[in-house]
Amino acid sequence: MGIETESQDERQVSSESTAAEKKRWTLNDFDIGKPLGKGKFGHVYLAREKMSKHIVALKVLFKSQLKQSQVEHQLRREVEIQSHLRHPNILRLYGYFYDQKRVYLILEYAAKGELYKELQNCKYFSERRAATYIASLARALIYCHGKHVIHRDIKPENLLVGAEGELKIADFGWSVHTFNRRRTMCGTLDYLPPEMVESVEHDANVDIWSLGILCYEFLYGVPPFEAKEHSDTYRRIVQVDLKFPSRPIVSSAAKDLISRMLVKDSSQRLPLHKVLEHQWIVQNADPSGVYRG
Ligand code: AMP
């Protein structure tokens, strides 16, 4: 399939192929369709690669805005990492190209759009739906961690839904490829683990914490440490001030899993393969990995 060929940047050419063998994409290779959405740095369009007729999402970023916000390095890292990941629950990045003013990312098209809109519509998800999603994300994160990639920014806004209803982790803007412990402050407030709030070293277990927050938000419709003031959210995270409201009614098995992921000592968080074996996941997650409504 034509679209499988990767990026054109000579600096990123891998050892197994040379720049000459690689397809150099241009805008002329695509028929551009309807806009799919607007992000901070540009627009995303439905597009079709002319040769293969493969449908993709084309993300168009303005170089001037990337420069102004000093995120070129972050984008480079995102492209480098995401283009090497192959998992059914991780959005594919097929390649990229650029012209004088713009950078174009050729992305897998997620036909059912953004998960957070679904969550807003439903307010909260059923236990079957939440468990199916959490299991698929645990599998995707096990895959990432196996490749020494930490996502660090798992939250509803970064999840898209494919045509079959499968979740796709998108946005690797904050992810890192690392063998070392990191000290950088990143991620979004409500999903930040205590070790990142306190700027101490962190490792791949930050993603277990975020998965715990996500599980809570799926089931209750709000993240667990939400507060009016940022300083209160920080305090609640650091103290792991975890409370389970009486409504909506959530099973004790689900609360047990959340409590085992939201543990301050990152080394004591339930490992992802154990998340998959937890009774709430086993009893509720659809074995196909896809929530069909
Ligand atoms: P972003 O710049 O990544 O925040 O994207 C802006 C919006 O475009 C998102 O909120 C989605 O609604 C839409 N979008 C981005 N990427 C895709 C994709 N791969 N498939 C479908 N819709 C997308």
- Given the CA of residue 110, which atom of ligand 1 is nearest to it? 20
Model's pTM, two decimal places? Answer: 0.88
CATH number at residue 89: 3.30.200.20
| Per-residue model confidence (pLDDT) at position 189 | 83
The alpha carbon of 224 and the centre of ligand 1 are apart by a number of angstroms equal to 26
> Structural domain of residue 233, as residue ranges?
115-284
Domain count, the chain: 2
Number of neighbours of residue 206 by Cβ within 10 angstroms: 25
Does residue 131 form part of some domain? yes
pLDDT at 175: 61
Does residue 12 form part of some domain?
yes
Claim to verify: residue 136 and residue 168 sit in the same structural domain: yes
pLDDT tens string, the chain, 293 residues long: the values are 334 333 443 333 333 444 444 678 999 999 999 999 988 788 999 999 999 999 999 999 999 988 998 888 889 988 998 999 999 999 999 999 999 999 999 999 999 999 999 999 999 999 999 999 999 999 999 999 999 998 888 889 889 999 999 999 997 766 665 544 444 555 568 888 998 888 777 888 999 999 999 999 999 999 999 998 888 999 999 999 999 999 999 999 999 999 999 999 999 999 999 999 999 999 999 988 888 87
Whether 86 is covered by a domain: the verdict is yes
| Nearest ligand 1 atom to alpha carbon 39 | 2
Atom of ligand 1 nearest to the CA of 109: 20
Residue 41 lies in a domain: yes
Q: Exposure of 262 by Cβ count < 10 A (0-12 exposed, 13-18 middle, 19+ buried)?
A: buried
Of 108, 132, 151, which residue is a domain's last? 108
Which of 56, 80, 108 is the last residue in one of the domains?
108
Do 57 and 120 lie in a common domain? no
Query: In CATH, what number is assigned to the domain containing residue 164?
Result: 1.10.510.10
Cα 134–chain centre separation? 12
Residue 99 within a domain? yes
Residue 263 lies in a domain: yes
Beta carbons of 56 and 108 less than 8 angstroms apart: yes
8 Å CB contact between 151 and 207: yes
Around ligand 1, the residues with Cβ closer than 6 Å are 36-39, 44, 57, 91, 107-110, 113-114, 160, 171
| 150 and 229 in a common domain | yes
Amino acid found at 86: R
256 catalytic per annotation: no
What pLDDT was estimated at residue 4?
39
Q: Which of 36, 41, 107, 112 to mutate to test the pocket of ligand 1 (most atoms within 8 A of CB)?
A: 36
Strand blocks (E) in the chain:
30-38, 42-49, 55-62, 93-98, 102-108, 149-150, 159-161, 167-169, 176-177
- N- to C-terminal Cα separation, the chain: 32
